[in-house]
Amino acid sequence: MTHPSPVTAADGLITEITTQAARPLEQAIALPPSAYTDEGFHAVERERVFRSGWLCVAHVSEVPEVGSFLALDLVDEPLVVVRGRDQAIRVLSRVCPHRSMDIMPGDSAFPRPGEARLFSCPYHAWTYELDGSLRGCPHMEQAADFNRADWPMPLVRSDIWNGFVFVNLDGSAAPVSQHYGDLDDLLAPWRIPEMQIAISMDWECDFNWKVMIENWMESYHHIGAHRDTLNRIMPGQNTWIEPEHPYYIHAHLPYTDDLKEQTRATIARGERVPGFMAIPGLSEEQQTEWGLHVGYPFFMFLTMPDRLLWYRLLPLSAGKCRLQTMTLVSRDTMQSPDLPAMLEAETPLLRDFHLEDMMVNTGVQKGLMSRLARGRGRLSHLEEPVWLIQRYLAARLAGRLPEKAARRPYYGPKAAE
Ligand code: FES
Ligand SMILES: [Fe+2]
Instruction: Report the CATH number that the domain containing residue 277 is assigned in CATH.
Output: 3.90.380.10
Out of 92, 104, 119, 121, mutate this one to test ligand 1's pocket (max ligand atoms within 8 Å of CB): namely 121
Contact 41, 9 (CB under 8 A): yes
- Asked whether residue 275 falls in the same domain as residue 363, the answer is yes
Residue 151 Cβ contacting ligand 1 at under 6 Å: no
| Residue identifier of the C-alpha nearest atom 1 of ligand 1 | 99
Q: Say if ligand 1 is within 6 A of residue 272 CB.
A: no
| Residues 331 and 229 grouped into a single domain | yes
Residues 91, 69: Cα–Cα separation, whole Å = 9
Q: Tell me how far the alpha carbon of residue 303 lies from the centroid of ligand 2, in angstroms.
A: 15
The residue contributing the CA closest to ligand 1 atom 4 is: 124
Pair (309, 258) in one structural domain = yes
Residue 167 lies in a domain: no
Q: Please tell me if the CB atom of residue 124 comes closer than 6 angstroms to any atom of ligand 1.
A: yes
Q: Residue whose CA is closest, atom 3 of ligand 1?
A: 124
Q: How far is the CA of 18 from the centre of ligand 2 (A)?
A: 27
In the reported structure, the alpha carbon of residue 144 is separated from the centroid of ligand 1 by a whole-number distance in angstroms of: 18
Whether 235 and 372 share a structural domain: yes
- Asked if 397 contacts 22 with a C-beta cutoff of 8 angstroms, the reply is no
Task: Examine the domain organization and report whether 200 and 67 are in the same domain.
Answer: no
Which domain range does residue 136 map to?
55-159
Per-residue confidence in pLDDT tens, the chain, 417 aa: 445 555 567 899 999 999 999 999 999 999 999 999 999 999 999 999 999 999 999 999 999 999 999 999 999 999 999 999 999 999 999 999 999 999 999 876 789 999 999 999 999 999 999 999 999 999 999 999 999 999 999 999 999 999 999 999 999 999 999 999 999 999 999 999 999 999 999 999 999 999 999 999 999 999 999 999 999 999 999 999 999 999 999 999 999 999 999 999 999 999 999 999 999 999 999 999 999 999 999 999 999 999 999 999 999 999 999 999 999 999 999 999 999 999 999 999 889 989 999 999 999 999 999 999 999 999 999 999 999 999 999 999 999 887 777 778 888 888 865
Task: Mark whether 280 and 347 lie in a shared domain.
Answer: yes
Say if residue 133 is in the same domain as residue 225.
Answer: no
User: Are 148 and 192 within one domain?
Assistant: no
Tell which of 141, 159, 177 closes a domain. 159
Give pLDDT, residue 1: 44
| Ligand 1 centroid – CA 167 distance (Å) | 25
Q: Tell me which ligand sits closest to the C-alpha of residue 222.
A: 2
How far is Cα of residue 270 from the mean position of the Cα atoms in its chain?
A: 35
Please work out whether the CB of residue 41 comes within 6 Å of at least one atom of ligand 1: no
Do residues 282 and 387 both lie within one domain? yes
Index of the ligand 1 atom closest to the CA of residue 126: 3
332 and 262, same structural domain?
yes
Whether the CB of 137 sits within 6 Å of ligand 1 = no
Q: Which atom of ligand 1 is nearest to the CA of 103?
A: 2
Which pLDDT score is estimated for 186?
97
Residues 236 and 369 in one domain: yes
Q: What does the alpha-carbon distance between residue 25 and residue 249 come to, in Å, rounded to a whole number?
A: 15
For residue 268, being part of any structural domain is answered with yes
| Domain identity same for 155 and 236 | no
Task: Answer whether residue 413 is part of any domain.
Answer: no
Tell me whether residue 49 is in a domain: no
Per-residue pLDDT, 107: 73
- In a domain, residue 8? The reply is no
CATH of residue 143's domain is 2.102.10.10
For residue 64, being part of any structural domain is answered with: yes
pTM for this structure?
A: 0.95
Residue 393 lies in a domain: yes
What confidence score (pLDDT) does residue 387 get? 96
Q: How many domains in the chain?
A: 2
Residue 153 lies in a domain: yes
How far does the centroid of ligand 1 lie from the alpha carbon of residue 317, in Å? 28
What per-residue confidence (pLDDT) applies to 298? 98
